[in-house]
Amino acid sequence: MNIPSFGVGTFRLTGQAAVDSVRNALDVGYRAIDTAQIYGNEAEVGQAIAESGVPRDALFLTTKIWVDNLARDKLVPSLCESLDKLRTDRVDLTLIHWPAPGNGVGLPEYMAALAEAKAMGLTRLIGVSNFNIELTRQAIAVVGPGEIATNQIELSPYLQGRKLAAFLQEQGITVTSYMTLAYGKVLKDPVLADIASKHQATVAQVALAWALRLGYAVIPSSTKRENLASNLLARDLHLDADDMARIAALERNGREVDPAGLAPAWD
């Protein structure tokens, strides 16, 4: 089972905005949805799926275990709560949201608990999010090679993470890029705007197509139906070697998300 290359994210969406965004995404053709316990919108995602009429088996559903639930006696019960909210008996992918080195729960404990959730049939695949190379190595050592389906990390034209991405791809771990538009900052970039003009595309499509060309999965979000539909068209945008070289030069270590106590030492 592979990670879909294109999904819809739900970060920062709550209440009716979350329901509407997911409903619109499903309506325009998305079949992968990314949520998390800390987003506080799993119930809204579940409602949107139920109201959409799209069969559950046609969807790829991801959630993430929050740091408060990493302990062995909490992880599985918290995932069961997530499943109730999502109105399903299993998700397709469950991630450890942050390694949280200062949280008091060791990596071997929570990775073993995550593997247990998979063995119980609560999730079809397991993975990590925001892990650096060393922590990914440690996670592989606990659950075994081939078990970690993805590492979901912040990547954008301004934060390209080449060392970490190369390591993950060597290990056969799918790179999932979040914050690919850098909170919208890349949308104002003149180089990306020039490439977009050349291809008669949007800047968002160019940034997403860049990530797809590198073999990454993407999960952009939007509250606007037209943007959800437009973003999907990035799958049909083929950037050439010159475009990719120009985007490669935009690297500036522009990290947007780096919470103290949760984040690792970045590569």
Full pLDDT tens readout for the chain, 267 residues: 799 999 999 999 999 999 999 999 999 999 999 999 999 999 999 999 999 999 999 999 999 999 999 999 999 999 999 999 999 999 999 999 999 998 999 999 999 999 999 999 999 999 999 999 999 999 999 999 999 999 999 999 999 999 999 999 999 999 999 999 999 999 999 999 999 999 999 999 999 999 999 999 999 999 999 999 999 999 999 999 999 999 999 999 999 999 999 999 999
* 84, part of any domain: yes
**Catalytic site residue from 30, 39, 110, 158:** 39
**Tokens in use for 183?**
């909170």
Residues 6 or more apart whose Cβ sits within 8 Å of residue 204? 181, 187, 220, 227, 230, 231, 234
pTM of this structure: 0.98
Whether residue 210 lies inside any domain: the answer is no
Q: Which CATH number characterizes residue 158's domain?
A: 3.20.20.100
User: Per the structure block, which two tokens stand in for 258?
Assistant: 């780096």
Whether 164 is covered by a domain: the verdict is yes
The alpha carbon of 74 is separated from its chain's Cα centroid by a whole number of angstroms, namely: 23
Flag whether 261 is in a domain.
no
Could you tell me if residue 262 is inside a domain? no
* DSSP 3-state of 13: coil
Residue 149 inside a domain? The answer is yes
Dihedral sign for Cα atoms in the order 38, 43, 46, 48: negative
Domain that holds residue 116: 8-184+216-221
Residue 3 lies in a domain: no
- When divided into structural domains, the chain yields a total of 1
Asked if residue 94 lies in contact with residue 65, where contact means CB atoms within 8 angstroms, the answer is yes
Query: Containing H/E element for 34?
Result: strand 32-34
Active site residue 39: yes
- Specify if 263 maps to a domain: no
97 is in an annotated binding site: yes
Q: What is the pLDDT of residues 138-195, one digit of tens each?
A: 999 999 999 999 999 999 999 999 999 999 999 999 999 999 999 999 999 999 999 9
